[in-house]
Amino acid sequence: MARHSLPRILTDSTRLARTAADGATDVLHPLITIGRGLRRLVAAGRERWSETPKERRGPLFFSVAACVLVVALVPYGPLLALISVMGVAAWAGRDRAEAAEAEVPDEAETGRLQTLYEALVPYFSAGADPSPLYAHDGDWEQVFTEYAFDDSARLERLRLKYPAYFTDGEPQSRARIEQLLHVKCGRGREYHFAWDEEANELVLSVLAALPTDIAAQPFITSPGETVLGFTDPDSVARTVPVVHGDDERRNAPPVMWRTGDRSTEPHLLALGQPGTGGTTLLRSIALQALQDGDVLVIDGGGTGEFACLAGRSGVMGVESGLSGALATLEWAAHETERRLIDTNRARQIGLNAPEDTRRPLWIIADRPTALAHVAAAEGREDPQRLLQVPLRHGPAANVTVVVADQFETAGMLSDAVRAHTKARIVLGPATAEVVRAVLGAPPHTTPTSEVPPGRGYARLGAGPVLRLQVPATPDPFDDGASEVHRRAVLELLPEPTVPAGEAAFTKPLTVASPLAVVQPAPTVEALVVDEPDADDGPAAEAPTDAEPMAATTRMSTVRAGQPFAVNGPAETTARAEG
């Protein structure tokens, strides 16, 4: 169907009406601004009145009424008050978009923007596009809608548009653009990329360095929460008060890890290069866990980084040798079974779980693959195999496993460790591919080649990838560490209970419930224990001299106050054989 043009009289009338409206807008612009400002002031007053508590509204109304009366009695008071209100209304009603005019970039900044625009042309252009946004010798002002430079004329924020046919849903396409912007905007800084697929916009911003002066301290958390470190303020919706520097207090956004029977990521795995803060992370977690739980430490590296915990209250043991590690991990597996059985029996008869089963038990293993290599050389059992029971049934028994290792030996980690550690941390310099392989998702920033110790990325379950800075928790016996940080760690250590020269793995196990009767220890799968019938025959015979006493006495039912000590190899461990 052919299109017919409008009559000229209608076109002239439309143009005339539009011109008259523009003229009226220019004439009445002050009144429009003042009216808009009055409307905003009234809305702000209503909001303030609604936020005021009811018990304070009376005094507030009396104060306002008194001010109005004083102004009315002062000579020329009403006139001055009217002029003041009009001025405030004009300021509040101004057009915010016009007031926030962008500064005109200088010649150097314009050259940087033009160079960046030309570099993006091969990625954001197509030959079949009739009106491309990106073209050689094109105009960068139509795609760079927002930009900001620092004092050295380097971009610190940029908002750009890209064509709708760009494959922004593919990680490879995004990675190419992010790498190009990282190179062109300047290396040595960490950039954050926010993709808006609906609006076809990308926002680049330079991230500030995370604080490294926050030392270990008693963080204010709920039961079952552990502060892994601190991240960017925009990444989390929570802050905790911390002390940093010279006793200065502020609120910092934490990376909070929740453990327990209802946690979706009850165990944690941290990987990194040597000297990137893995042991510092474990030491920080151990100090927080000792506030309301027991800790068992396996120092696979044998460097003595956890010697400060030996013989402390709540520390079940600090083992660095293969025999001691096997013994303590075997005890931890039996303890997990014992907790499951006692909890199940209590629930069957309608009682609460025994008190000793509700106290958290933490198994912290630093470089277990080093012990696995020694075990393979000696033909002995891999210590990681004994972690299967705590990893699989730990949440129900209030047992948490934390493992830290290095990238070079990550392939030696057992399948159980890989499968059950839903909380992951990458420490130190790492490429985006490595971060994606460990955390399951790429970071939204560009990793840098040089980072301070304790700096990395964290991901809890299926959550987002967050930047992380671990609190400074050095070995208090390390003379090379900061004196302030060493003193902070010493203040958090529990009171010593065992002399430093004696065995570290000593813990009195008591009978906390009448449910813990003397029986053979069943397997993990036997969570429901049926009582034997009277027709099943006589009771089991007493053990002979050839059978160890542990065949009829469970490790968890030791007489009250009797210590259970493991000072030798795994063969000397008192364990159930039933």
Enumerate the known binding-site residues for ATP.
Answer: 272-279
Residue 235, both tokens: 């990444």
Cβ partners under 8 Å of residue 12, min gap 6: none
* Distance, CA of 291 to CA of 494 (rounded, Å): 8
Q: What is the bridge-based pairing of β-strands 399-406 and 268-272?
A: parallel
* Distance, CA of 485 to CA of 476 (rounded, Å): 8
* Distance, CA of 499 to CA of 540 (rounded, Å): 42
Q: At 204, which helix (H) or strand (E)?
A: strand 201-206
**Dihedral over Cα of 109, 111, 112, 116: its sign:** positive
DSSP string, 491-524: HHSPPB-S-TTS-S-EEE----STT--S-----T
Residue 94's CB: how many other CB atoms inside 10 A? 13
Question: What residues form the annotated binding site?
Answer: 272-279
Residue 214: strand pairing partners: 244
DSSP-based three-state secondary structure for 15:
helix
What does each C-alpha distance from 18 to 23, 30, 32, 552 come to in angstroms? 9, 20, 18, 99
Tokens 């303890």 — which residue? Answer: 335
Q: How many CA atoms lie within 13 A of 196 on its CB side?
A: 11
DSSP string, 54-90: HHHHHHHHHHHHHHHHHHHHSTTHHHHHHHHHHHHHH
First CA to last CA across the chain, in angstroms?
93
Residue 136's CB: how many other CB atoms inside 10 A? 10
Tokens 């985006």 — which residue? Answer: 432
Contact 299, 319 (CB under 8 A): yes
- Name residue 343's amino acid: T
* Distance, CA of 508 to CA of 510 (rounded, Å): 6
Residue 463, both tokens: 């959550």
Contact 444, 192 (CB under 8 A): yes
